[in-house]
């Protein structure tokens, strides 16, 4: 079985649900709901890949603090094998959400000063495929993946086609994923990505499904799967995992898009990244 190593963020998040995102003026509001939960794009991907039966290890930075203890416990509960490196503190977010799925994410803490071994290229030594998410540490590991011939998949999130920080990830990747939040022409954005080297570029469109372009210029699309939406956090990571799982099983791009859409339903139906973390 393909050994997948997911390198990137795991965080502890406080989620606050408001009727609408706050205006930039002094005022008071009452939350509709709030709760704490595991976050982080890499944690989300690892949770869904593990649930799909894949050989996956999450490689992340976690601090020796209460948030770190909660991250560790949640990963165990979700059945995720993790290789966690000590950082000065754990990543923490305050996410302001609306029932429509709008989000304002405030970074409360980032895992600065990781242990020296965290950037050791040996982190990918046993990988057949590396999912390297956007983070400075991920960028440091890209050359090692290239030198070892390990295929890289990456999630560019709200890429605008211009960001210099995203460029090394784009150029190193076999497959790239993104959403359409920063573009008016998703097909043109996908074409620009393919020109940089990936074999497959995928753009999720929320309720409008997803599209993809391959290196041969073929266009693919799939509708969103029918879902009862409880919370939108982690849906993109679930989609990524479903697509990758189908691809590794031999599916073409179209069927992989459909598998991604079906997997996204798992995240949409819970207020956590995956149902295994609770109601």
The pLDDT assigned to 117 comes to 58
pLDDT of residue 78: 97
CATH class of 3-277: alpha beta
Residues in the chain: 279
pLDDT in tens, 6-23: 999 999 999 999 999 999
Which ranges of the chain have pLDDT less than 70? 113-122, 279
Q: What is the pLDDT of residue 116?
A: 61
Q: Give this prediction's pTM.
A: 0.96
234 alpha-carbon distance from chain centroid: 7
Residue 85 is given by DSSP the state E
Q: What pLDDT does 262 receive? A: 98
Q: Quick one: pLDDT at residue 278?
A: 86
Q: What is the pLDDT of residue 258?
A: 98
- Own/partner contacts of 139-148, CB < 8 Å, gap of 24 or more, are 139/165, 139/168, 139/169, 141/7, 142/168, 142/169, 142/172, 145/172, 146/172, 147/121, 148/121, 148/124
Q: What is the pLDDT of residue 137?
A: 87
**What per-residue confidence (pLDDT) applies to 57?**
97
Query: What are the structural domain ranges in the chain?
Result: 3-277
Q: What pLDDT sits at residue 114? A: 63
Strands 152-155 and 175-179: parallel
pLDDT in tens, 84-134: 999 999 999 999 999 888 899 999 999 876 666 556 666 788 899 999 999
């Amino acid at each position: 079985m393909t050994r997948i190593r997911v390198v990137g963020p795991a965080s502890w998040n406080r989620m606050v649900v408001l009727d609408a995102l706050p205006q930039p003026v002094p005022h008071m509001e009452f939350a509709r709901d709030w709760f704490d939960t595991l976050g982080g794009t890499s944690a989300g991907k690892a949770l869904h890949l593990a649930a799909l039966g894949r050989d996956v290890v999450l490689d992340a930075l976690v601090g020796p603090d209460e948030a770190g203890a909660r991250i560790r416990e949640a990963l165990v509960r979700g059945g995720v094998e993790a290789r966690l490196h000590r950082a000065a503190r754990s990543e923490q977010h305050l996410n302001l959400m609306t029932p429509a799925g709008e989000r304002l994410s405030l970074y409360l803490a980032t895992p600065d000063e990781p242990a020296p071994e965290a950037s050791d290229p040996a982190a990918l030594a046993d990988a057949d495929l590396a999912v390297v998410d956007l983070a400075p540490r991920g960028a440091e590991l890209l050359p090692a993946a290239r030198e070892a011939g390990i295929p890289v998949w990456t999630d560019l999130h709200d890429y605008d086609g211009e960001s210099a920080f995203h460029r090394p990830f784009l150029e190193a990747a076999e497959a790239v994923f993104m959403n359409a939040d920063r573009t008016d022409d998703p097909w043109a954005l996908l074409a620009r990505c393919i020109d940089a080297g990936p074999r497959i570029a995928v753009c999720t469109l929320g309720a409008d499904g997803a599209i993809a372009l391959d290196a041969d210029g073929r266009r693919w699309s799939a509708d969103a799967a029918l879902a009862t939406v409880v919370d939108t956090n982690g849906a993109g990571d679930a989609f990524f995992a479903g697509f990758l799982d189908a691809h590794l099983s031999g599916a073409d791009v179209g069927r992989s898009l459909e598998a991604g859409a079906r997997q996204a339903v798992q995240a949409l139906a819970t207020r956590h990244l995956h149902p295994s973390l609770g109601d």
